[in-house]
Amino acid sequence: MTEALHNIGFGNIGGNNYGTSVRQHRLGNTGTGNIGIGLTGDNQVGFGALNSGSGNIGFFNSGNGNIGFFNSGNGNVGIGNSGNYNTGLGNVGNANTGLFNTGLNGISMRTEATTQAATTPATPTRATSTRATPTRGT
């Protein structure tokens, strides 16, 4: 068996790569199981040396198992996440869901106003009766 077994396209290196490449322009797929143009690593889906690592889908992902754009680390889904297992936009740290979270296990984007509203109990309101007062006949 040869190193480039089951490649479909042009200038692919490795095995089970599907796509187009012009190696002198660094657009070839390297590794195994890549679908797209210019991928490095294994099991990538996307375009042009934009994903590194393994199992990334999208553009400019590094690490492993990322889906989306500009994710680094592992297991991120979304855009611009760093760390591991983040879902959303611009999360830093691990296991965050939502927007612009830092640290661990943050959920959703919070501002001071929403945090205060969530922690201040609502003032109960008293129900008023709209029942009419009975009148006596004359």
Amino acid identity, position 123: T
Contact 51, 42 (CB under 8 A): no
Q: Order across the sheet with 77-79: list the strands.
A: 8-9, 18-19, 35-37, 45-47, 57-59, 67-69, 77-79, 87-89, 97-99
Distance CA 35, CA 75 (A): 19
The C-alpha atoms of residue 17 and residue 132 are separated, in whole angstroms, by: 81
For the chain, the structural domain boundaries read: 1-50
Q: For each of the chain's 138 residues, which pLDDT tens digit applies?
A: 444 456 666 556 666 655 554 433 335 677 777 777 777 777 777 765 567 778 888 888 888 899 998 888 899 999 999 999 999 999 999 999 998 888 887 665 544 444 444 555 555 555 555 566 566 665
pLDDT score, position 49: 56
Burial class (CB in 10 A: 0-12, 13-18, 19+), 117: exposed
| Contact call for residues 61 and 72 (beta carbons, < 8 A) | yes
